[in-house]
Amino acid sequence: MEFKIVDCDQHVIEPPDLWEKHLPKKYQDRAPKLTRDEEGGDGWQLGEHVESLGLVAAKEVKPRDLRWTGTRYEDMHPGIYEAKGRLELMDEDGIHAAVLFPPQRTMIYFMTIGDDDLQVAGMMAYNEFITEFCNQDPKRLGAIWQMPGTKTEDAVAMLREAKKAGAVGVGLATWPSGENLISEADEPFWAAAAELEMPVHVHIGLVPAKQPTKRVAAKKGGAPQLVLLASTMSRMPVLIADMIFNKVFCRHPGLTMVGGEVGAGWVPYLLQEMDDRYKRNRYWCEVDLGDKLPSEYYQSNWKVGFIQDHYGVQNCDAVGVETMMWCSDFPHHGNDFPHSKHVINEMAHGIDASKKAKIFGDNASALYGF
């Protein structure tokens, strides 16, 4: 059975002139600045912190050669930050279409800088850039717009702009209200997303809103860094349970949520536990989900993206075939370029061809309109 591979989670590295070109002049003094890291590579100066490009521009870098510092734009394939080159790389890797996520480091910088106007302007600058990028071939490239973490009104306004601009979805870094916990203040955003049929994405997890975040120095490695890299799925179960038990999907049944780059093999256990705890505790907790179990809300309102997840794919019926979408994470260091087809075939060995087609192409194609 032939099908077209659709990648539900690629990334772009900011081109060197992104902020100069798209961020208003009045904010240029606080814009991310291109600088050199300690090994002479390029990095973005984000306040007092320099984010090097090594792990997020690691096309075809072998594990023994992987490092955080020392990577320069001049040594990168232009497809890492330009649309024409990206399409060429997708052709080489056998990928028909791809969804593009923001560079989270600069998004978090704007979100935690302490200036709401600058945060909104920074998000819009990126959103303008990625729209131009994807407009080079909208049949194959889909933009995920970044939502600000200032207040619900700002998020709703940008959501509506995203729809007008042709984005295929939006991404949250924190709850729409900008608060650290889900609340009634988020309701207008969920309602607008459902009305506009815009999938809402959470890439790995949410971060504390408006608060400076502690950064692990990836270039130094060590156990703390491996813990972060090996537990990218850890925040998603709580977020899924938060939205289901707070009855978001009871009120907004048309809302679609996507967990980006979080894997799938853990999902059956979460569904089992949510259903069991709900049945035992729904009355004294005074939570009534109507005629559906928590697991059914997951199946109807959630999707998850995974990179390599042999266990999840082999147990796709327990996860929910319709909820699974493959991603490469290109050009971040978790990618398997140019061997994605081989990795897909290895993961999907022995599963039904129609299920394979859904997981690695059709589900994403239907969601994003490719």
Distance (Å, rounded) from C-alpha 156 to C-alpha 285?
31
Contact yes or no for 305/11 (Cβ under 8 A): no
User: Is 44 inside a domain boundary?
Assistant: no
Going by C-beta distance under 8 Å and a sequence separation of 6 or more, which residues neighbour residue 240? 257, 259, 270, 298, 302
Tokens of 297: 């809300």
pLDDT band at 170 (very low <50, low <70, confident <90, very high): very high
User: Is 114 inside a domain boundary?
Assistant: yes
Asked if residue 246 has pLDDT above 70, the reply is yes
Distance (Å, rounded) from C-alpha 277 to C-alpha 275?
6
What stretches of the chain show up as alpha helix (H) in DSSP? 18-22, 83-93, 104-111, 116-134, 152-165, 187-196, 223-230, 236-245, 248-251, 267-285, 294-301, 310-314, 316-319, 340-347, 353-357, 363-368
Asked if residue 214 has pLDDT above 60, the reply is no
User: Is 271 inside a domain boundary?
Assistant: yes
How far is the CA of 22 from the CAs of 19, 31, 130, 170, 318, in angstroms?
5, 10, 11, 19, 45
pLDDT attached to residue 126: 98
Q: Could you write out the DSSP letters of every residue in 177-221?
A: TS-SS--GGGHHHHHHHHHHT--EEEES----TTSPPP---GGG-
Asked if residue 222 has pLDDT above 60, the reply is yes
pLDDT attached to residue 210: 62
Helix (H, G, I), strand (E, B), or coil: what is residue 51? strand
Helix (H, G, I), strand (E, B), or coil: what is residue 337? coil
Distance (Å, rounded) from C-alpha 3 to C-alpha 360?
8
pLDDT band at 216 (very low <50, low <70, confident <90, very high): very low
Distance (Å, rounded) from C-alpha 147 to C-alpha 119?
10
pLDDT attached to residue 308: 96
Asked if residue 218 has pLDDT above 70, the reply is no
- Of 203-217, 239-253, 259-273, the one with minimum mean pLDDT is 203-217
pLDDT attached to residue 1: 57
pLDDT attached to residue 209: 67
pLDDT attached to residue 217: 46
Helix (H, G, I), strand (E, B), or coil: what is residue 62? coil
Mean pLDDT for the chain overall = 94
User: Is 27 inside a domain boundary?
Assistant: no
User: Is 24 inside a domain boundary?
Assistant: no
Contact yes or no for 87/140 (Cβ under 8 A): yes
Under the phi-then-psi rule, with left for phi > 0, alpha for psi from -120 to 50, and beta for the rest, what region is 142? beta
Distance (Å, rounded) from C-alpha 26 to C-alpha 5?
43
Q: Percentage of residues in the chain with pLDDT exceeding 90?
A: 84
* Total residue count of the chain as it appears in this document: 370
Which residue from 295, 235, 305, 206 is spatially nearest to 265, judged by alpha carbons?
A: 305
pLDDT attached to residue 183: 96
User: Count of alpha carbons within 13 Å of 104, Cβ hemisphere only?
Assistant: 21
Total domain count, the chain? 1
pLDDT band at 55 (very low <50, low <70, confident <90, very high): confident
User: Is 49 inside a domain boundary?
Assistant: no
The CATH number of residue 260's host domain is 3.20.20.140
Q: What is the pTM of this model?
A: 0.95
**Domain, as residue range, for 132:** 6-15+82-368
Helix (H, G, I), strand (E, B), or coil: what is residue 288? coil
User: Is 30 inside a domain boundary?
Assistant: no
User: Is 69 inside a domain boundary?
Assistant: no
